[in-house]
Amino acid sequence: MTIGLLVLLAAFAVGTEHRPAASVAGQVLDCGPSIPASWLLPGTPDRGETGPGATVDERRAADACGPVVAESRTWVATLMGLGCLVALVGGSAMAGTSQAGPGRVAATRS
């Protein structure tokens, strides 16, 4: 269970701190974190969203960062899901052994 929670927390930390990058015309662009601040704090503006007044360079940057950020989010979500699954399985195993009680053997079917 502990390992699953550690994997979950580590994936969340990577998602908020790791900043994937993309390259456009030989220039390396910072695409921002996989888990943006707007997901955590309502009202925080999103980086990389292009509105109707966006320049051509801003649109190019958004187009280049889109797939990179999507892949990063997929990896973060996968690791967080794996951590939750391991924590759930570990917690279920711990609950199953504690129901037998001390000095009692859990009944099993053969």
Residue partners of 36: CB distance under 8 A and separation at least 6? 44, 46, 47
Mean pLDDT, to the nearest integer, of 84-97? Answer: 87
How far is 57 from 34, CA to CA, in rounded Å? 21
How far is 52 from 55, CA to CA, in rounded Å? 9
Place of tokens 């701190």: 17
Q: Which pTM value belongs to this model?
A: 0.72
How far is 90 from 96, CA to CA, in rounded Å? 10
Residue partners of 19: CB distance under 8 A and separation at least 6? 30, 31, 32, 33
Query: Residue 48: what residue type?
Result: G
Q: pLDDT tens digits, residue range 16-48?
A: 988 899 988 888 988 889 888 888 888 887 765
Of 29-33, 57-61, 74-78, 85-89, which range is least confident? Answer: 57-61
